[in-house]
C-alpha cells in the first residue's frame, strides 16, 4: 500500500503519466522512369527508382481529446487524416505535429511519403494491424508507380511490375496515381544501393512538375507510347543497369540512367529548358549519370564519394544562381536502404 502511494505521488510530481507519441521519419525518392506506357503485353506502368535519406517527412502523433493538426502543410494534412479516419472508422481524438516535409510537386515523392507517414503513425497509435501496401491503398497511393511505397517500406533500389491493363481488377486507362483506382503494384526487384554512391540533387525555382488535371492531361497526350520505347527501356534496365548495380560498376549504371532520359522524345520535350541545361551541367562536371526525377523540376546527378559530391554541389549552385539567375536548392543525399523509421516515444 505504501509503495503504491509513493508511485502515485511520483506520477503527480512528474505531471502525470507521460503521453505516448508515435514518431515517423520517411525517406524521399527519385523516380527514374516508368517502364511501359504502351500496354500491348497486358500490363502498364512499372517503375524504377531509389529511396533517399534526405529530404524527409518527420511527424509525431499522440492521442488527444479532439483532433488537432499542427506544423507544416496543415490543410493537406487535414485532408489526408480525414481520408484515414473515414477508411478506418476512427472515433477518438489525436494530435499530429508535422515538423518537416518534402517539397511539394518537385519530383521527390512528397504526397506518397506524407500520406504513408500519417497513415503509419495513426495505425501505430491506435494499434491497427495493417501493412504498408494496404495503408497505401487506403490513402490512394500506388495507382501508377510503386516506388514511393517501397521506398517507405524497404528503402533501396526498386523496380516494380506495374498494373494489369484492361483486365479484371486492373487499370482501364493510362492515369497517374491520384486519378487511378488501382492497387499498388508488386515489387519485383529490391537491392541495397552502394553506400559510397549517392546523388547531387538540384531543385531549381521553376514551375512545379505536372500534377492534378495537368498530369492527367499529359498521360492522355503521350499514351500509348510506341512499343519500341518500352522495349528499349526494359532492355536497358535488364541488360545494363541491373548488372552494373550488382557488379558495382558506377560508370555503366550512370550511363544507363542518362540513356533512360533520351528514349522518349515526347517526355523529353516536356522538360523545362533549364532542366535540360542542368542535366548537361551535371554530366559536364563529373556526374556518372543524370536526369529529371518524375515530372521534375528536380534534377539528379550520380556521384561517388564526398569530395566529388561537394564539388558538383558547388558547380550546380553556381550554374543556377549565376548562369541562369534563378533561386534554387542544391544538396547531396545518399540512398536510404532501410525505409521509414516508425517508433514509440515515451
pLDDT of residue 157: 99
> What one-character DSSP code corresponds to residue 323?
I
Residue 150 domain-assigned (yes or no): yes
Percent of the chain with pLDDT over 90: 82
For the cut 90, the answer to whether the pLDDT of residue 328 exceeds it is yes
Which residues, in sequence order, are bridge partners of residue 230? none
Host domain of residue 161: 19-345
Percent of the chain with pLDDT over 70: 95
For the cut 80, the answer to whether the pLDDT of residue 178 exceeds it is no
Helix (H, G, I), strand (E, B) or coil at 195: coil
pLDDT of residue 12: 46
> What one-character DSSP code corresponds to residue 273?
H
> Residue 140 belongs to a domain with what CATH number?
3.30.230.120
pLDDT of residue 210: 72
For the cut 60, the answer to whether the pLDDT of residue 11 exceeds it is no
pLDDT of residue 299: 98
- What is the residue whose three cell numbers read 548488372? 243
Residue 291 domain-assigned (yes or no): yes
Cα–Cα nearest to 67, from 97, 31, 26: 97
Segment among 10-19, 120-129, 320-329 with least mean pLDDT: 10-19
d(CA 289, CA 257): 6
Residue 8 domain-assigned (yes or no): no
Residue 312 domain-assigned (yes or no): yes
d(CA 176, CA 262): 21
pLDDT of residue 124: 98
Tell the burial category of 54 from Cβ atoms under 10 Å away from its Cβ (0-12, 13-18, 19+). middle
pLDDT of residue 14: 45
pLDDT of residue 97: 99
d(CA 164, CA 159): 16
pLDDT of residue 269: 77
d(CA 204, CA 300): 11
For the cut 50, the answer to whether the pLDDT of residue 7 exceeds it is no
Residue 263 domain-assigned (yes or no): yes
| Contacts made by residues 34-37, CB under 8 angstroms, sequence distance 24+ | 34/144, 34/145, 35/159, 35/162, 35/230, 35/233, 35/234, 35/237, 36/162, 36/230, 36/233, 36/234, 37/174, 37/219, 37/222, 37/223, 37/224, 37/225, 37/229, 37/230
pLDDT of residue 13: 47
Cα–Cα nearest to 157, from 239, 254, 48: 48
pLDDT of residue 267: 76
Residue 5 domain-assigned (yes or no): no
pLDDT of residue 191: 98
For the cut 60, the answer to whether the pLDDT of residue 38 exceeds it is yes
Mean pLDDT throughout 218-230?
Answer: 91
Mean pLDDT throughout 25-34?
Answer: 98
pLDDT digits (tens, 9 = 90+) for 267-302: 787 899 999 999 999 999 999 999 999 999 999 999
Cα–Cα nearest to 194, from 260, 331, 288, 109: 288
Residue 55 domain-assigned (yes or no): yes
pLDDT of residue 8: 46
Which band of pLDDT confidence, cut at 50, 70 and 90, is reported for residue 15? very low
Mean pLDDT throughout 170-189?
Answer: 88
pLDDT of residue 137: 95
d(CA 310, CA 332): 8
Residue 53 domain-assigned (yes or no): yes
d(CA 57, CA 26): 5
Average pLDDT, the chain: 93
Tell me how many domains the chain contains: 1
Q: What is the layout of strands, in order, in the sheet containing 93-100?
A: 68-71, 93-100, 58-64, 21-25, 341-345
Tell the burial category of 211 from Cβ atoms under 10 Å away from its Cβ (0-12, 13-18, 19+). middle
pLDDT of residue 58: 99
> What one-character DSSP code corresponds to residue 179?
G
- C-beta of residue 55 within 8 angstroms of C-beta of residue 108: yes
- C-beta of residue 339 within 8 angstroms of C-beta of residue 153: yes
Cα–Cα nearest to 132, from 144, 110, 111, 117: 117
Which band of pLDDT confidence, cut at 50, 70 and 90, is reported for residue 6? low
Q: What is the length of the chain? A: 346
Amino acid at each position: 500500500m505504501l509503495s503504491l502511494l509513493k508511485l502515485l505521488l511520483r506520477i503527480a510530481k512528474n505531471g502525470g503519466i507521460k503521453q505516448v507519441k508515435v514518431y515517423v521519419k520517411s525517406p524521399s525518392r527519385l523516380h527514374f522512369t516508368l517502364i511501359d506506357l504502351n500496354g500491348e503485353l497486358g500490363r502498364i506502368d512499372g517503375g524504377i527508382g531509389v529511396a533517399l535519406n534526405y529530404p524527409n517527412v518527420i511527424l509525431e502523433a499522440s492521442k488527444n481529446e479532439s483532433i488537432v493538426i499542427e506544423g507544416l502543410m496543415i490543410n493537406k494534412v487535414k485532408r489526408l487524416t480525414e481520408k484515414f479516419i473515414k477508411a478506418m472508422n476512427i472515433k477518438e481524438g489525436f494530435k499530429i505535429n508535422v515538423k518537416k516535409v518534402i517539397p511539394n510537386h518537385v519530383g521527390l515523392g512528397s504526397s506518397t511519403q506524407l500520406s504513408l507517414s500519417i497513415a503509419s503513425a495513426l495505425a501505430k497509435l491506435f494499434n491497427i494491424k495493417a501493412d504498408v501496401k494496404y495503408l497505401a491503398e487506403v490513402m490512394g497511393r500506388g495507382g501508377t508507380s510503386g516506388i514511393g511505397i517501397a521506398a517507405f517500406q524497404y528503402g533501396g533500389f526498386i523496380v516494380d511490375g506495374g498494373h494489369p491493363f484492361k483486365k479484371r481488377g486492373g487499370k482501364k486507362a493510362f492515369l497517374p496515381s491520384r486519378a487511378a483506382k488501382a492497387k499498388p503494384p508488386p515489387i519485383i526487384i529490391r537491392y541495397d544501393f552502394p553506400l559510397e554512391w549517392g546523388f547531387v540533387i538540384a531543385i531549381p525555382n521553376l514551375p512545379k512538375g505536372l500534377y492534378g488535371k495537368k498530369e492527367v492531361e499529359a498521360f492522355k497526350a503521350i499514351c500509348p507510347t510506341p512499343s519500341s520505347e518500352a522495349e528499349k527501356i526494359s532492355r536497358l534496365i535488364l541488360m545494363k543497369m541491373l548488372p552494373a548495380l550488382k557488379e558495382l560498376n558506377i560508370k555503366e549504371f550512370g550511363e544507363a540512367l542518362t540513356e533512360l532520359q533520351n528514349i522518349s522524345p515526347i517526355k523529353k520535350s516536356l522538360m523545362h529548358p533549364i532542366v535540360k541545361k542542368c542535366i548537361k551541367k551535371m554530366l559536364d562536371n563529373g556526374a556518372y549519370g543524370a536526369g529529371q526525377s518524375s515530372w521534375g523540376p528536380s534534377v539528379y546527378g550520380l556521384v561517388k564519394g564526398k569530395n566529388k559530391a561537394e564539388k558538383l554541389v558547388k558547380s550546380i549552385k553556381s550554374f543556377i544562381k549565376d548562369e541562369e539567375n534563378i533561386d534554387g536548392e542544391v544538396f547531396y543525399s545518399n540512398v536510404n536502404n532501410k525505409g521509414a523509421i516508425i517508433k514509440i516515444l515515451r
